[in-house]
Amino acid sequence: MGQIVGERYLRKSNFMDAIPNQGQSQLWRDVLKGRDILSTGLIMGIGDGSQTSLWYHHWVGVSPVYQLMAVEVPENIAHWRVADIIVGNSWSLDSISHLIPSSLIPEIMAIPISSSYPIEDRVRWRLTKHGEFTIKSAYHHTTNNALQLPHSKFCSSLWKINAPFKYKMLLWNASHSILPVGTILSIKIPNFNNLCARCGSFPEDHMHLFRECASSSVLWTRIFGLLKFQNFDYHSFYCNQWSEWMSFNLSATKNENWRSIFTIAIWHIWKMRNKAVFDGAMQNSTTIFNQFLSDYHASNKYLQINLVRPIIQDQLQKWRPPQSGFYKLNTDGSWRGIAAAGGGGVIRSEDGGWAIGFSASFHARTPLAAELLALKKGLQLVWDHNFKKLEVEVDAKELLNLLNSGLDQPYHDLFVLIHEVSQMFKWDWVVILNHIHRDYNQVAHLLAYLSFYMEQDSKVYQEPPQYVQAAFRKDLGNVTSTSSGNT
């Protein structure tokens, strides 16, 4: 069938470039009508970059690069492939940085490159997590309402949230994408600067305003750090697209306490944004968090319960040393945005002693990407020190699931990283991978946090840095108590 269609309708062209005409069947012309929908969801996943046009294929951003440029593509480099801006195992953008929008640079830098294994470029469906086409995702995309709950259910659950009415009114406007953010105002006002007034680096759409901007990301991080929700889907929170994100946070099945927290946080982010826009004033993260906390305390009776529980749990949590003859690697990722991501890790001996630690900064599209990059960095460090028996602990369950099924998801946007880390486990050593609760993983977590404040891309610690010493001593004390209990 494919050969017949190709000979009759495509000839020397391909499906995406075929031109409809009146001499073709109505069925074929209807098929071509769906091509525009298909093209909006397709994107090239970069392997080695040799099969992808740098300018004319959609591989980064919201469309092919040439459509985002203020100048014409120079003729002498119009033939370039993505591979032409990859040198060794790194991106080299000096030759094109003056031609492309500055907002694309961190996005490109965050695309993983295969450093050890040849991986071909591939066409991905960008509207699903696994990168494979589904009719459901295409349908939701055409209605611009990805995975949204039924309207009546969505609205009825929104108005029942325990928060002031004006907060819920703001949330309703946000959920319908009708707030006067920069990208919307730039459509209506000629020459309007649509950049975010807080960071000045990215266009201000609803997603950037409420989650992606570093100022907003810090608030969410502090909320999660204080309340420490059990079994919370952090991957969906940090990776879902806008309408899917709103549905995730406001679902009628979601914990009522979380919906109240989310609504109040949205209100304070909007206030912070307006203060930057209209007063030119930036409030620090501590001030915003304290305002949120005070507001939530006044609106919700459950706050004290949520603040006490983690403290009780923390007293019961222990880090365990590796089995005899093994070393243990703990890693963690940190993420505030594409250009503000990092990771950290620590390698310890069977007696809990410090072998080596690290902090590293990355470009990463998502928190999960930062987790993967931190794990890859840690594994390489262990290998370089010739430790051949290793236990590995990470606190991201999604990461474990990906590594277990990653090679079965060749269209996942992190496939290059997943493939490389999976191959590292097959080297000539013994590696045992386990999940650890975040509260057990504090040394790695703090080392990851240090990545935000480094002047260099990475740093190796032969001794515990002062910032993590208390957490390290606590883990070391657990080793002593465990040994005493076993004697």
**pLDDT tens-digit map of 256-288:** 788 889 999 999 999 999 999 998 888 887 888
What's 235-286 look like in SS3? HHHHHCCHHHHHHHHHCCCCCHHHHHHHHHHHHHHHHHHHHHHHHCCCCCHH
**pLDDT tens-digit map of 350-407:** 999 999 999 999 999 889 999 999 999 999 999 999 999 999 999 988 888 888 775 6
Whole-angstrom distance, CA of residue 379 vs CA of residue 377: 6
Check if the beta carbon of residue 345 is closer than 8 Å to that of residue 329: yes
**What domains can you pick out in the chain, each with its CATH number?**
2-139 (no CATH), 150-312 (no CATH), 327-486 (3.30.420.10)
In the prediction, which pLDDT does 472 show?
94
In the prediction, which pLDDT does 114 show?
81
In the prediction, which pLDDT does 78 show?
94
- Antiparallel, parallel or unpaired: β 327-337 and 389-394: parallel
pTM for the structure as a whole:
0.64
Element (H, E) at 392: strand 389-394
pLDDT at 302 over 50: no
Q: Average pLDDT of 130-147? A: 69
**pLDDT tens-digit map of 146-196:** 334 334 445 557 777 878 888 989 998 898 888 999 998 988 888 889 999
Which tokens belong to 413? 């946007």
Higher pLDDT among residues 289 and 355, named by residue: 355
**pLDDT tens-digit map of 36-84:** 777 778 899 999 899 999 999 999 988 899 999 989 999 999 999 999 9
Check if the beta carbon of residue 123 is closer than 8 Å to that of residue 14: no
Identify which of 178, 345, 368, 167 has the alpha carbon closest to the alpha carbon of residue 261.
Answer: 167
Whole-angstrom distance, CA of residue 385 vs CA of residue 400: 24
Alpha-carbon dihedral of residues 128, 131, 132, 134, nearest 10 degrees?
Answer: 10
